[in-house]
Amino acid sequence: MATPPDEGARPPPASAGEGASRTPRICLFSALYKPSMGGVETYTENLARALRELGAQVTIATCNTHAMAPEERTGGVEVVRLPCTPLLGGRFPLVKHDAESKRLWERLEQEHFDYVIANTRFYTLTERALAFAEQADVMPLLIEHGSAHLTMGSPLADPAVQAVEHALTRRDMRHPFRAYAVSKKASAWLSHFGIESAGELPNSIDADDFLAQASERDFKRELGIPDDALLVSFAGRLVPEKGAVELAQAVAAIAERPDAGERPVHAVIAGAGPKQGDIERIGCAQVHLAGRLERQDLAALLTQSDAMALPSRSEGFATTLLEAAACTTPSIVTPVGGTDELVSDERFGTIIPDMSANSVEVALREAARNPRRLIDQGKNVADRVRSEFSWKRTATRALVACAEANGK
C-alpha cells in the first residue's frame, strides 16, 4: 500500500526537468456534478476550486444529466459535459458513444493532462476515465465516497443493484489506478471489493466562508415555526439511505405523543428525491419540506437550526455534516462513513445506533430536554472543523498523491 501523502507537503511540479515549472493540468472526472445536488458533486466542485487556487489547471469531466451546454468555463475551471442516458432520476447516468461524445473525448485527449482523478467506482464514466488515463500513460487516482452498498430501499431491487455495483467495480479493476477515499471507513470499505486504499483525501470545508455567505431568510418566520420550538434540519438527497423519512416519522411520533412540558420539535427538510412523496404522506404539520436550497439559504437554515439530523445508512464523509459544524450546529448522526472523524464522541454531537425512526425520536426528545448540551456540542464541533478540515489541506494532499502515483 502506498504511504498516504504528507498533508503539510508543498504541491509538486507537474514533471521534472524542462516541465518542472509548468502548471499541472488535471482532469477531474465525476459522473454527477452541478446542477445535481449531493456530496460527490460538492466534493468535486470544492476540490477543483482548491486545486486551482494552488496553481493547477483543472477540467471537470461529467455527465450531461440536465441537457446543459457541453462546454463552459466557470470560476476558472473548465467543465466538459458528456452525453449520457440518465437513469434512476439522474442518479445513475450511462455515458453514450455517439458523435458528440467522440468529439468531446477527443477534446479531452488534446489537453494532455498530467494527472487524472476519478470520483466513485460504480459509474460507467469512471471506467471510461480509467481507460482514458491508461491510454495517456497516466496513473489515475480513484476516490471512494461510500461505506456500504448502494440501496434503493427495496429487498427485491437491492440485490440486483449490488450485483451491478460489483460488476462495474470489476470493470474498473481491469485498469491501473491508485485508490484513495474520503474517510477511513470508506477506505476500509474498498477492501470488500479487493481494493487496497493508499489513504484518505477527506471531504473538507472552508468553514468561515460558508458561514459568511448565509442569506437573510428567516425559516422559523417563513414556515410558522414557534420561537420556542426545537428546529432540526436535514439537507441532502431524499433517497432511502439518507434517513429523511425516518426523521419525518420521528418528528410525527413526538407530535402525536408529546412529553409533558416538552418543547415542540419541528424538522425542515431541504432537498429533493424519490422519497419526497413518502414524507408528504406522513402528513405531519411539524415536518416542513423546503425543496432544494441554494448554498446561501442552506447556510442560513443551518445557522438557525438547533441541530442537524443525518441518520444515514451509508456515507462517505457527508458535506452537510461539515456545513452544520461550520455554523456551530451539532449533528445527530449514525456511526457510518466519516461521521466519527468529526463527531467522534458525544462532546461533538449525538451518535445514535441506527437510522430507525425510534432511534431518531429518542435523540430528538433528549435534545429538546437539554438545550445546553446542544450549545456545548456546537461550539466544540465548530472549533474542530476549523482546525482539522480545510480544502487547501485536502487539495495539497491530492497533488502530492498524484505526483507519487506518477513517479514525479
Per-residue pLDDT reduced to its tens digit, 146-172: 877 777 777 887 888 888 888 999 999
The pLDDT score that the predictor gives to residue 151 is: 73
Class of domain 208-388: alpha beta
Cβ-proximal residues to 261 (8 Å cutoff; 6+ apart), any chain: none
* Helix (H) or strand (E) run with residue 290 in it: strand 287-291
Cβ-proximal residues to 370 (8 Å cutoff; 6+ apart), any chain: none
CB count in 10 Å sphere of residue 372: 7
Whether omega before 202 lies within 30 degrees of 0, making that bond cis, reads no
Backbone angles phi, psi at 243, to 5 degrees: 85, 15
The pLDDT score that the predictor gives to residue 7 is: 43
Query: pTM to 2 decimals?
Result: 0.79
Instruction: Give me the residues of the chain with pLDDT under 50, please.
Output: 1-10, 13-21
Q: Do you know the residue count of the chain?
A: 408
Backbone angles phi, psi at 189, to 5 degrees: -65, -30
Domain 17-204+390-405 is classified in which CATH homologous superfamily?
A: Glycogen Phosphorylase B; (3.40.50.2000)
Name the segment(s) of the chain with CATH classification 3.40.50.2000. 17-204+390-405, 208-388
C-alpha cell at 160: 440486483
SS percent in the chain: helix, strand, coil, step 5: 40, 20, 40
The pLDDT score that the predictor gives to residue 12 is: 52
Q: For residues 311 and 246, is the Cβ–Cβ distance under 8 A?
A: yes
